Copies of this chain bind each other. A is one copy, B any other.
């Protein structure tokens, strides 16, 4: 029986539709008999279906942040012009996930390993079968969404006209693998995690807290904390604000990660660690990235501590015609949450330029 977790409801995340694409065979050998993807769409698909944008989600993320921070009338991601589909990644708590599946053969600890390539294949199938979309004006995603964006561009070159990977790499690197492992170990070391068989996500509160605390160190920068930038961030929950950095950690990072499902985070973490477009080209990263035909803007965040520009730029240089559009946020990787108008303005400018390029 699925576990109840209100964080993942439409009330918690904003409206979405659960769309089944049926039986789905995973690259690692597992099968999801009834794969349901949680999709939130904005705008209207035009007649020739040429105005579709696909947005895959990041680790622990959902469509909510895209809706709240990135999509809007007059913005680059303009629902008045485009049909924008934010597709929640498999295992993120909204799409088929360990805690929400009604199939006992894949519930909780039995959930099969999922790959970035699985997500992209499932998204392609869904867009084609459900919406009749054969080409995408743009794929854009942040962090693990960037991993999926790169995978889209490599795997479906004829379908992706433009690609904008933000704050992520096409091939995961060892440091990032080790970092993600510390996040996962923080959860699995909690005895209440119990090998994945807990009764409620809140049972694993201690592990989720440690997981969140590591995020607070790597997702947010020394300058974010030093300048007390958090004073400018509105509370997540009314009345639950912060006067000290410890309170911000408690009522922001720990609060939000504490609402999530441990097995969902672990499923995504395993996937994140192994993102690698070179799996499509027998390990040859240059061949994989060299095959991209989408017009690509590579968009790292300058202050990012685990997807730093120095890891993104060498990939950009392997993609024909790709351009670097550096983003800036004092928050580092968590700049993705759009704390600063200057950051969202940079994103909008880059995506507007990219969408204006004829391809």
Query: Footprint of B on A, CB under 8 Å?
Result: 173-179, 181-182, 185-186, 189-191, 206-207, 210, 213-214, 216-218, 220-226, 245, 249, 305-306, 308, 310-311
Contacts and interface: CB of A to CB of B under 8 A. Distances in A.
Most chain B Cβ neighbours within 10 Å, of A175, A179, A207, A216: A175
A217 B222 CA distance: 15
B174 A245 contact: yes
A178 B213 contact: yes
B210 A178 contact: no
Nearest to A308: B222
A175 B310 contact: no
A255 to B, nearest CB: 15
Contacts of A181: 213
Contacts of A245: 174, 177-178
A217 B310 contact: no
A310 B222 contact: yes
Given A182-B210, A182-B213, A305-B305, A226 B174 contact: yes
A305 B249 CA distance: 20
The 3 closest A-B pairs by CB, nearest first: A174-B225, A175-B225, A175-B222
A189 B218 CA distance: 20
Contacts of A173: 222, 225-226
Given A308-B222, A311-B226, A217 B179 contact: yes
A176 B306 contact: no
Nearest to A173: B226
Given A175-B224, A176-B222, 5 more contacts: A173-B225, A181-B213, A189-B210, A222-B310, A305-B305
A210 B305 CA distance: 20
Contact of A178 (B177, B189, B207, B217): B217
A206 B177 CA distance: 19
Nearest to A210: B185
B226 A213 contact: no
Nearest to A185: B210
Contacts of A311: 222, 226
A97 to B, nearest CB: 25
A178 B223 CA distance: 13
A266 to B, nearest CB: 15
A226 B175 contact: yes
Most chain B Cβ neighbours within 10 Å, of A181, A182, A306: A182
A300 to B, nearest CB: 12
A33 to B, nearest CB: 34
Contacts of A191: 191
Given A191-B191, A249-B178, A305-B305, A213 B185 contact: yes
Contacts of A210: 182, 185-186, 189
Contacts of A182: 210, 213-214, 217
Contacts of A179: 217
A158 to B, nearest CB: 32
B185 A225 contact: no
Contacts of A214: 182, 214
Contacts of A306: 222
A210 B211 CA distance: 12
